[in-house]
Amino acid sequence: MEIFPKTFQFSTSIEAWKGINRYLIQKEQDVIDRKGFRTGSQIVSYDNTLLIRKAYMPEDFDFNLYFNYHRQKWSSLVNNYVDLNHLDMVRSEVLLREKKNAGQYNISFIFDNSHNSGKGCLLSMTFIRRANFPIPIISAVMRSSEVVKRLPFDLLLLQRLGEYTYGKNADFAIQLILPNIYTQTESSTMYLQYDQTLLKHLMAERKRKEPMGPFCTKLLDCYESYLSVDPASIKYKIHLRAVKALQKEAGTGKPLLVKDLQLQ
């Protein structure tokens, strides 16, 4: 069976998050052509690699405003995946190689999965120094990634792990290997709420009756419905999260800003 991998290149982590969401929303035919699939409200892309020149999420990015997330969500992520004793051992080895000006190294860190409810999405990361590349690279492997809410959290975690290892203001790149990425129309309404430029573009296309894929069509229908639906009528928690975000209820709580989400 032939495999159709896809490599994306982005300048920063935030651009990677935006780019991969736009890809699934706007390029669904390319996803299908590469043997991904669309079923019901879900679209899935296989064998993806993200190359990110600089690990960076904006300090004022608010996870509460966009996804109705609270601090416990971040604490749970860190506590589940990061064994700090193991990380310190790996960090010491990396810094030793850096001190010796080692031209090349590949030092791996295996993510923990200590919670019984954990899904084991993050598998491993490798701290890399290459002879022909000016800055370190963090290469991470994930089992699967939901791209709207979970991917930006994981990108921030990789950034914090890199800063903990190389220093707060260090410059390092990210390579993220994703065998499986996906989103659902209900979750992607939250991305459209964030990316108003894309939302206006899609709405204009629909008004002009331009050809639009089934996923994108369903997404716009869902977005318009969630703006006025009664939250009490929503059965599923994940859908209710989207409704709260669109109806501006999510941002009424305490902000959950990137600058406040640290490793320890």
DSSP string, 38-53: EETTEEEEEEEEEEEE
Distance CA 245, CA 227 (A): 9
pLDDT at 47 over 60: yes
Non-local CB neighbours of 53 within 8 Å, separated by 6+ positions: 9, 10, 11, 12, 173
DSSP string, 138-196: EEEEES-EETTTHHHHHHHHHHHHHHHHH-TT---EEEEEEEEEEEEHHHHHHHHHH-H
Q: What pLDDT score was predicted for residue 44?
A: 98
Distances (CA, A) of 32 to 20, 91, 195, 254: 15, 41, 24, 40
What mean pLDDT is reported for the chain? 94
pLDDT at 169 over 60: yes
Mean pLDDT on 152-172: 97
Candidates 218, 252, 215, 200; CA nearest to 226 is 218
Pair of tokens at residue 202: 């899609």
Distance CA 179, CA 144 (A): 7
> If pLDDT is split at 50, 70 and 90, which confidence band does 264 have?
confident
List pLDDT tens digits, range 183-195: 999 999 999 999 9
3-state secondary structure at position 247: coil
Q: What pLDDT score was predicted for residue 253?
A: 75
Distances (CA, A) of 164 to 88, 129, 168: 9, 16, 7
Q: pTM score, two decimals?
A: 0.95
Distance CA 219, CA 199 (A): 10
List pLDDT tens digits, range 218-253: 999 999 999 999 999 999 988 999 999 898 764 467
Non-local CB neighbours of 27 within 8 Å, separated by 6+ positions: none
8 Å CB contact between 43 and 24: yes
